Homo-oligomer: A and B are copies of this chain.
Amino acid sequence: MRTRPLKVALLGCGVVGSEVARIMTTHADDLAARIGAPVELAGVAVRRPSKVREGIDPALITTDATALVKRGDLDVVVEVIGGIEPARTLVTTAFEHGASVVSANKALLAEDGATLYAAAEQHGRDLYFEAAVAGAIPLIRPLRESLAGDKVNRVLGIVNGTTNFILDRMDSSGAGYSEALDEATALGYAEADPTADVEGFDAAAKAAILAGIAFHTRVRLDDVYREGLTEVTAADMASARRMGCTVKLLAICERAADGQSVTARVHPAMIPLSHPLASVREAYNAVFVEAEAAGQLMFYGPGAGGAPTASAVLGDLVAVCRNRLAESTGPGESAYTQLPVSPMGEVVTRYHISLDVADKPGVLAQVATVFAEHGVSIDTVRQQGKDGEASLVVVTHRAPDAALSGTVEALRKLDTVRGVASIMRVEGE
C-alpha cells in the first residue's frame, strides 16, 4: 500500500459534510485498505468557522473555499454545499487545479451538468455524484455502469422523501396537505421553507439527472415537466383509495415508443396498491428501472439524511481515489444519443378526472362526446348523485397528455359541468 495519503478537501460541513468527515476519521483504516492508500482530510470550507465541529482539527477549518480548491495539492474535492453558486465555480476551479470532484449537488448537476463534465474531461479528472439522487441508494452507478450494456426504456420512482412522507401521512390518516406538511416539518422531514420539495423542484432535478444518464443524452432541469403536490387533497386520496390506488409524487423518465425522443416529468399520480411503489412508506425512496434485457429492477432505501448521503459520497470517494492512484478516470458524460426531450403534451398517460355536474339526464352523453372528440377513450365512469348535485369520475385509457388536457379544457366550457374537482394522472400499470 502507498503510504503517502491522498488529500481530500470538504466544501460544506453541515448534516452530510460532518458525517463524511466523521466516517473518514473513524473508518480511516478500512478506507485505506479499500483504496490502497490512506486518505487525509486536508481542509474543510465552512460558512460559520466558530461552530464547534467535533472530531475535526480546527486548523483544517477555513471560510475561504476558493483558496482551498486552488491549493493545487488536492486529490479530491467533496462538494456538499448545494445550490448553483458558488458551488459551480468552486467545482470547476477544483478541476482546473487538478482535483477530482465528488458532489451531492443535484441542483447544480441538473442545471449545468454539461459544464462540470466538460471541465472534468478537460483536466482528466473524475466527476462522481451518486449522492445527488436518492441518498444512499446506488442508482447512478447501476445506471451508468451495471446497465451500460443494456437499453433503459423507463425510470419511474419516488425520489423525494419529504413529499413521500406527506403523502404517506395523508393516505394513512386521512389528513389534508397542510396538516401532513406540519407534521413533516415538526418531525424534521420538511425544511422551514419546503418549496423545493413540495413544488417538485428537488424531484425534477433528480429526474433530469436520471434521464440524462439512462438515455445517454442531455436533460436539464428546464426540460422536466413539473407539478408539486400542494394541490393534492384528502378527497383525491380518498378517490384513489376507491380505485384501489394511492397517490405518490413520481419522477418518470421515458423513452418514446419510436425511440426517437425522451420525456421527463414529476407530478402526483395515482398508482395501484399492488404496485411495489405504493408500499414505500415515510421518507423512503424507491426507483424502478425498466431495461430491454434486464427487465424490471427496483432499488429501495433511505433517500436522504446525513449518514445515508455520506455513505454514497464515501463510495464515490473510494472509487475516485482508486482512479487517482491508477492514474485513470471512470466513465464521463455519455450523451451520444442526443435524443431530444419532448414536451409534456407528447407524454402518453392516463387521467383520473372528477367533475361536478348538473344532476340531469344527458350529462354523461355530453361529457362522453367531449372525450370522443379529443380522441380520448374512456376506461371507466362512476356517477354519483345527491341533493341535485352530481359528480362524474372518469378514468381514461392511455392518450397523449395534450389530448387529455384539451379534453379537460373543453369539459370546463360545458354548461352542465359546474367544475373540475380534480385531475390526476394514473401510472404504474
Contact of A293 among B145, B308, B319 (CB under 8 A): B308
A247 within 8 A of B: no
Closest to A318 in B: B148
Contact of A34 among B299, B326, B334 (CB under 8 A): B334
Contact B294 A301 (CB under 8 A): yes
Give the residues in chain B near A340, CB-CB below 8 Å.
none
Give the residues in chain B near A315, CB-CB below 8 Å.
145-150
Contact A138 B142 (CB under 8 A): yes
Closest to A141 in B: B146
Known A30-B151, A298-B298: A293·B317 in contact at CB below 8 Å: no
Interface residues of A in 355-373 (CB under 8 A from B): none
Q: Which of A148, A216, A292, A297 has the most CB of B within 10 A?
A: A148
A31 within 8 A of B: yes
How often does this chain occur in the complex, in copies?
A: 2
- A: number of interface residues (CB 8 Å): 58
With the chains together, A337 CA to B322 CA distance in Å?
19
With the chains together, A336 CA to B31 CA distance in Å?
11
Contact A145 B141 (CB under 8 A): yes
Distance from A189 Cβ to chain B, minimum over Cβ atoms (Å): 15
Q: Which of A294, A318, A337 has the most CB of B within 10 A?
A: A294
Contact B296 A297 (CB under 8 A): no
Give the residues in chain B near A216, CB-CB below 8 Å.
30, 33-34
A314 within 8 A of B: yes
With the chains together, A298 CA to B302 CA distance in Å?
10
**0/1 interface trace, chain A 291-330, chain B, CB 8 Å (1 if under):** 1111111111110010110111111111100110011110
Give the residues in chain B near A300, CB-CB below 8 Å.
276, 297-300
**0/1 interface trace, chain A 130-151, chain B, CB 8 Å (1 if under):** 1000001110011001111111
Give the residues in chain B near A322, CB-CB below 8 Å.
331
**0/1 interface trace, chain A 86-103, chain B, CB 8 Å (1 if under):** 000000000000000000
Contact B293 A301 (CB under 8 A): no
Closest to A30 in B: B151
Contact B293 A314 (CB under 8 A): yes
Distance from A28 Cβ to chain B, minimum over Cβ atoms (Å): 11
Interface residues of A in 26-83 (CB under 8 A from B): 27, 30-31, 33-34
With the chains together, A331 CA to B141 CA distance in Å?
14
A23 within 8 A of B: yes
Contact of A137 among B30, B297, B311 (CB under 8 A): B297
Give the residues in chain B near A314, CB-CB below 8 Å.
148-150, 293
Distance from A117 Cβ to chain B, minimum over Cβ atoms (Å): 15
A19 within 8 A of B: yes
Contact B331 A149 (CB under 8 A): no
Interface residues of A in 94-139 (CB under 8 A from B): 130, 136-138
Give the residues in chain B near A146, CB-CB below 8 Å.
130, 138, 141-142, 312, 315
Beyond A33-B337, A149-B310, A295-B308, list 12 extra A-B contacts (CB 8 Å).
A23-B149, A136-B293, A136-B297, A137-B297, A138-B138, A141-B141, A145-B318, A146-B315, A150-B311, A276-B279, A295-B307, A296-B301
23 contacts between A and B (CB under 8 A): A31-B149, A33-B337, A34-B148, A34-B336, A138-B146, A141-B141, A141-B142, A141-B146, A147-B311, A149-B310, A149-B313, A149-B316, A293-B307, A293-B308, A293-B310, A293-B314, A295-B301, A295-B307, A296-B301, A299-B299, A300-B300, A323-B328, A328-B328
